[in-house]
Chain A
Amino acid sequence: ETGVTQTPRHLVMGMTNKKSLKCEQHLGHNAMYWYKQSAKKPLELMFVYNFKEQTENNSVPSRFSPECPNSSHLFLHLHTLQPEDSALYLCASSQDYNGVAEAFFGQGTRLTVV
């Protein structure tokens, strides 16, 4: 079993749909992240939660809405997405040890918006 689990692995949705991505970490970490990876672009940091508090929102459009009910679970609620939002969405978790936090990733959700 991987330390960070994401569901679903693949998702196709229309522009008027509402869907949610789920992430669960079993590593006892206190921070969780959402990253977006589009084709031929670097990973883009979207959100960071530390002890359930959002500490980073990297100018993400409001059609992406994160939720962190506890330090083990992270959701990304999606609504009225655009085709250019099609990408691989990666969840990660980390734990700060003396100012260093290595991120461990889930396998990602490959999202296609039609």
Chain B
Amino acid sequence: RKEVEQDPGPFNVPEGATVAFNCTYSNSASQSFFWYRQDCRKEPKLLMSVYSSGNEDGRFTAQLNRASQYISLLIRDSKLSDSATYLCVVNIGSSYKLIFGSGTRLLVRP
């Protein structure tokens, strides 16, 4: 089983749609969870950290379910500029060992 698994997509949605991505992780001892965004041929950039209580940043909401070992990202009112690959990141062991999922590609169409 992969340490971090994501549906590769692509998710093709119209502008204004709500879209959700899930990510599962295998190590129950993981403590840090993040969503990163990566545009084509660019470096990954931190989108948001994921806290146990869930957190929201504008149109983006992240949730953590420790019992089922998955994290989710919800994007409301999708914009064309949201088109990117969304990477789920989990620490394995030390806080510095950050393992990336393969990413979920989102395409927002006009």
Contacts and interface: CB of A to CB of B under 8 A. Distances in A.
Contact of B34 (A45, A102, A107): A102
Contact of A56 (B44, B96, B102): B96
6 contacts: A41-B102, A43-B87, A45-B98, A90-B44, A106-B43, A107-B42
Contact of A42 (B43, B97, B100): B100
A55 B98 CA distance: 12
Say which size band chain B's interface belongs to.
20 to 34
B24 interface: no
Say which size band chain A's interface belongs to.
20 to 34
Interface in A38-95: 41-43, 45, 48, 50, 55-56, 90, 94
B63 interface: no
Chain A, interface SS category: strand
A45 B97 contact: yes
B42 A42 contact: no
A32 B23 CA distance: 25
Which of B31, B49, B96, B103 has the most chain A CB within a 10 Å cutoff? B96
Interface of B: 4, 31-32, 34, 42-46, 49, 87, 89, 91, 94-103
A43 B46 CA distance: 14
Interface of A: 31, 33, 35, 41-43, 45, 48, 50, 55-56, 90, 94, 96, 99-108
Contacts of B43: 90, 105-108
A46 to B, nearest CB: 12
Given A90-B43, A102-B46, A105-B45, A43 B100 contact: yes
Contacts of B31: 99-100
